[in-house]
Amino acid sequence: MARGADSRPAFAVPRETERYPFALGGTAMVLFALLAVTGLLLAARYVATAAGAPASVDAITQTVAYGWFVRGVHRAAASLMVAVVLLHLARVLFTRGGAAPRQVTWLVGVGLLVLTLAFGFSGYALVGDADAVAATAVGLQLMGPLRALFGAPGEVIGRLYVLHVAALPALALLAGVAHVVLVRRHSPAPDEPDTVPYWPDHALFQAFVGACAVTLAVAIALIAPPAPVVTETVGAASPRPEWYFLPPYALLKLAPRAAAAPLVLLAVALLAAWPWLDARLARAPRLSFAAVALRAALVLGPLALALWEAFT
């Protein structure tokens, strides 16, 4: 760690970040690394074709030594990473962490959320079983004109595989590095009060929380190992998306089909523009309630849709 002549740390963080809600960003990075390692192991036996995908995933689960464990850790880490990123974004939203001068940091963070969800969508589709094929067809409806990029039904698996193992990781690495650089740029000066050195204080705290997340992923894989791949016909499947796609899935049922994709895009655009919208509302005290209501709607709206879909 570089130090100045007065031995002060070159990089400090606010003392309040020594709490678990402020360790979510680093935890997401640890889970991403775990997903990369387990994903490389799975890719060694995966066959990215419509016929080969379910057979290869089933072989990984039932035949390959410890394949069930690697797949289980990968699946658990994926769900945990989505949860961590969503909680991180909610924490920043309610603590106004995206306010000036951190608007670009917020924008990159929203981009990372979109990439994380894209990882989840493509990864679920790559299983290639009946439920995955049916659920993928539903998800592609939300993409509008972008649906054509995935080709004919027989080409979807191959193109999603390239997206999952090449395009998305490259974009996530670039966005992640940019996000860290921006966070570092807007960190407090080392001589400001109520700060702690990043190394070793905050780094060790982040490492501890990340280790807990890895341990939880391993525990989930051991307690609830992945089931064998279902080979029933697609027509007999009853697709149910992963929990983090329940809100748009519910929206497809509640809203006209043509309106579902624009509504999702509108929600993402509102989320991306939030720092500027929040600043405008803050300048008008009579609109302060509107800012609180919009924050609540951005969080509680998707939650309500997810609960409605899960229990109806």
CATH at 73: 1.20.810.10
Q: In 265-290, which positions are buried (b, 16+ CB within 10 angstroms) versus exposed (e)? A: eebeeebbebbeebeebeeeeeeeee
Output the pLDDT for position 48. Answer: 95
- Tell me, what's the pLDDT at 92? 93
| pLDDT (0 to 100) of residue 39 | 97
Is residue 272 situated within a structural domain?
yes
Any domain includes 5: no
Task: Evaluate whether 127 touches 58 at the Cβ level (below 8 Å).
Answer: no
Would you state the pLDDT for residue 191?
A: 58
The answer to whether position 7 is within a domain reads: no
CB 113 within 8 A of CB 85: yes
C-alpha 95/C-alpha 196 separation (Å) is 20
pTM: 0.91
Q: Closest Cα to residue 249, out of 236, 262, 237, 264?
A: 264
Residue 1 has a pLDDT of: 41
Which of the four pLDDT bands, split at 50, 70 and 90, describes residue 5? Answer: very low
DSSP 312: -
Question: Is residue 72 in a domain?
Answer: yes
pLDDT, tens digit, for every residue of 54-91? 999 999 999 999 999 999 999 999 999 999 999 999 99
> What is the predicted pLDDT for the residue at 207?
92
Note the helical H segments in the chain.
24-43, 52-62, 67-94, 103-125, 130-141, 156-162, 168-185, 203-223, 246-254, 257-272, 274-282, 288-310
Check residue 189 and give its pLDDT. Answer: 55
Q: Which residue has the higher pLDDT, 103 or 186?
A: 103
pLDDT at 123: 96
Judged by average pLDDT, the poorest of 153-167, 182-196, 229-243 is: 229-243
Report residue 42 as tokens.
Answer: 């799975």
Structural domains in the chain (count):
1
**Does 4 reside within a domain?**
no
pLDDT recorded at residue 28: 97
**Statement: residue 271 has pLDDT above 70:** yes
Q: Return d(Cα 68, Cα 223) in angstroms, integer.
A: 12
Question: Which residues make beta-bridge pairs with 14?
Answer: 195
Find the helix packing angle between 24-43 and 103-125, rounded to 10°. 30
pLDDT, tens only, 151-185? 777 789 999 999 999 999 999 999 999 999 998 88
Q: What is the mean pLDDT of residues 199-205?
A: 82
Contacts of 74 (CB under 8 A, 6+ apart): 35, 38, 39, 42, 123
Q: Of 55, 38, 73, 121, give the one whose Cα is nearest residue 224.
A: 73
- Dist CA 306 CA 153 (whole Å): 28
Mean of all residue pLDDT scores within the chain: 88
Residue 212 has pLDDT above 70, yes or no: yes
* Structural domain harbouring 192: 12-310
Whether residue 75 is contained in a domain is answered as yes
d(CA 206, CA 31): 12
Q: For residue 2, is it within any domain? A: no
Q: Domain for residue 1, yes or no?
A: no
From CA 39, how far away is CA 123, in angstroms rounded? Answer: 10
Span of 48-52, 268-272, 285-289 with lowest mean pLDDT = 285-289
Buried b (16+ CB within 10 A) or exposed e, 152-184: eeeebbbebbebbbeebbebbeebbebbeebbe
